[in-house]
């Protein structure tokens, strides 16, 4: 079984039912999962919870008019504390965004793995690089096709406090620097 197929089977058979089971009468409750390892514990301590989100898109080739969205996110440990599952919903002048991400610790590779799904009909789900800690920032490095060539991209959770954090989505500007395209402020509910 290929890695992608195994991951999809994992989502369908374990994670999605775990998350759906946490939904009762339209109300979300925080699962009582305990992190399976110190790496997931560190991540869950800063990202797990119920969040209000506010996104701001910079004017760029990806978003010529800029834009914004507001919404909510639910993030929790699932699958026996081995993975962190996030589901988010937002809408605004930048359009509707529905999605999820899944992060887990790959012990043999000594790195976090990232899997994402968005309301994108052409490629809704994909593995999205690896992640690591840079001091107090949690960083996901990956590559995307931009104007016909593979380009370095980076999502960074920065300014992490117990009640808020900021997620920046950046792309290689072509000169080795990263240009921020989207800034999302997350505030704990």
CATH (domain of 166): 2.40.128.20
Nearest to 112 by CA among 22, 26, 28, 37: 37
Q: Of residues 63 and 119, which shows the higher confidence score? A: 119
Query: Model confidence over 66-83: pLDDT tens digits?
Result: 899 999 999 999 999 999
What does the block give as tokens for 132? 């690591």
CA end-to-end span of the chain, whole Å?
A: 40
pTM for this model (two decimals): 0.82
Q: What gap in Å lies between CA 56 and CA 35, rounded to an integer?
A: 32
Residue 102: give the domain boundaries. 3-188
**Which neighbouring-strand residues pair with 164?**
187
pLDDT bucket at 152, cuts 50 / 70 / 90: very high
Nearest to 53 by CA among 71, 74, 28, 75: 71
In the block, residue with structure tokens 């997620």? 167
Nearest to 184 by CA among 84, 90, 116, 46: 90
Q: What gap in Å lies between CA 43 and CA 22, rounded to an integer?
A: 20
Number of domains in the chain: 1
């Amino acid at each position: 079984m290929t890695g992608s197929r195994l991951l999809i089977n994992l989502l369908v058979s374990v994670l999605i039912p775990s998350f759906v089971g946490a939904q009762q009468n339209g109300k979300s409750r925080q699962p009582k999962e305990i992190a399976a390892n110190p790496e997931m514990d560190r991540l869950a301590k800063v990202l797990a919870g119920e969040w209000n989100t506010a996104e701001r898109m910079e004017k760029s080739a990806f978003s010529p008019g800029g834009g914004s969205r507001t919404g909510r996110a639910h993030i929790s440990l699932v699958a026996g504390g081995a993975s962190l599952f996030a589901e988010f919903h937002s809408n605004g002048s930048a359009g509707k965004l529905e999605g999820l991400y899944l992060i887990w610790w790959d012990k043999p590779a000594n790195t976090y793995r990232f899997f994402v799904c968005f309301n994108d009909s052409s490629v809704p789900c994909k593995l999205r690089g690896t992640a690591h800690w840079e001091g107090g920032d949690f960083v996901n490095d990956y590559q995307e096709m931009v104007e016909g060539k593979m380009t370095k991209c980076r999502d960074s959770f920065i300014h992490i406090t117990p009640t808020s954090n900021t997620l920046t989505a950046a792309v290689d500007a072509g000169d080795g620097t990263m240009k921020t395209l989207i800034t999302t402020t997350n505030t704990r509910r």
